[in-house]
Amino acid sequence: MSDQTSQSTTPDDASEQEQSIIKTQKPHVEPVQYLCSTANSTVTSLIYWENPLSSVIVLGTGLANCLLFYYYSISSIYAAVAFFVLFGNWLYVLGYKQLQHLLGREPKHPFERLLSERLFVIRQEQVEKHLDVSLQIVNSLSSEYAKIIFVEDAFRTAKYAGCVFVLWYLTTWFSVPTILGLFLVAAFTIPAGYKNHKEAIDNKYEYAKNKAKSYSQRTLKVACNNMGDCYEKSRQYLGKKIAHTGETLKKKE
């Protein structure tokens, strides 16, 4: 009897387990879409100052890098950082060993744990995972570039061509670090300012839009009236010329 009840309840239990598994399963998300959504949410949080400390750190770091790259080249900065890191570690290791000698202890390398545990060795699984994601990103970008270059959409290609021309024109006036610094300042001030003063800005925009519309309608009306007057005067002038020409031809005959 117990066997029959267990057999009768087994399919229901199995169906409930399957439904619970289906509910708990997360939908598959492409790595590129996940990275884009994560980057979008992070950038939005930064430019709208949802966490002021993070926004200040990112903006200050970006402006400091722009100022640094304005006066020094990337190769010189990299060489200087590498020199100070190597020379500082060299002094630290030698000083640590000499201190161990003076204290009568067995000299040990201060970075022995880091060297023995091989913490900076990249695992093959991590490389394959990141290579897969990088390959998907490169393929997506290359397909987008191909659509733009080979003019899949004429308006889209013209838009990108205009952006590239504006960037090219700006680089003739300003250096790349200056443009990046201005872009950072604008990105961290304009969206937040619009969010904080949205109602006032929208009212000003609507007022300016209505004024521009009224001025354009008035100008168009004046232009139409002038065109009508010009057309009427031209028609009268041509009529007089034709009549005068006809009279002269009759007199000659």
Domain count, the chain: 1
pLDDT at 226: 72
Between the CA atoms of 59, 62, 66 and 67, what dihedral angle is there, to the nearest 10 degrees? 60
| Per-residue model confidence (pLDDT) at position 165 | 92
pLDDT surpasses 50 at 27: no
Measure CA 57 to chain center: 19
In this predicted structure, the answer to whether residue 252 has a pLDDT above a threshold of 70 is no
Residue 138's pLDDT band (cuts 50, 70, 90):
confident
Summarize pLDDT for 57-79 with one digit per residue, the tens.
998 999 998 888 888 888 888 89
More confident residue, 24 or 100: 100
Q: Can you give the C-alpha Rg of the chain in angstroms? A: 37
In the numeric block, the tokens 């393929």 are attached to 139
pLDDT at 22: 43
Give the residue numbers spanning the domain of 242: 211-253
Express each pLDDT in 77-130 by its tens digit.
889 999 999 999 999 999 988 888 888 788 788 888 777 776 677 777 777 777
pLDDT at 151 > cutoff 70: yes
* DSSP character at residue 4: H
Within-domain flag for 155: no
pLDDT in tens, 162-172: 999 998 998 88
Residue 229 covered by a domain:
yes
**DSSP letter (8 states) at residue 223:** H
Mean local confidence (pLDDT), 1-30: 47
What mean pLDDT is reported for the chain?
A: 79
Q: Would you say residue 215 lies in a domain?
A: yes
Q: How far apart are CA 214 and CA 232, in angstroms?
A: 27
Over range 191-206, report the average pLDDT: 87
Asked if residue 176 belongs to a domain, the reply is no
Whether 162 is in a domain gets the answer no
Cα 56 to chain centroid distance, Å, stands at 19
Q: What is the pLDDT of residue 82?
A: 93
| Mean local confidence (pLDDT), 206-228 | 81
Distance from C-alpha of 181 to C-alpha of 61, rounded to nearest angstrom: 11
14 domain residue, yes or no: no
* pLDDT score recorded for residue 57: 92
214 — pLDDT class (breaks 50, 70, 90): confident
Give percent of the chain above pLDDT 90.
10
Task: Decide if 166 is inside a domain.
Answer: no
Which residue, among 93, 94, 129, has the nearest Cα to 114 in the 3D structure? 93
Convert the pLDDT of each residue in 29-45 to its tens digit.
455 566 667 777 888 88
pLDDT at 23 over 50: no
Q: Is residue 217 part of a domain?
A: yes
Residue 3: pLDDT above 70? no
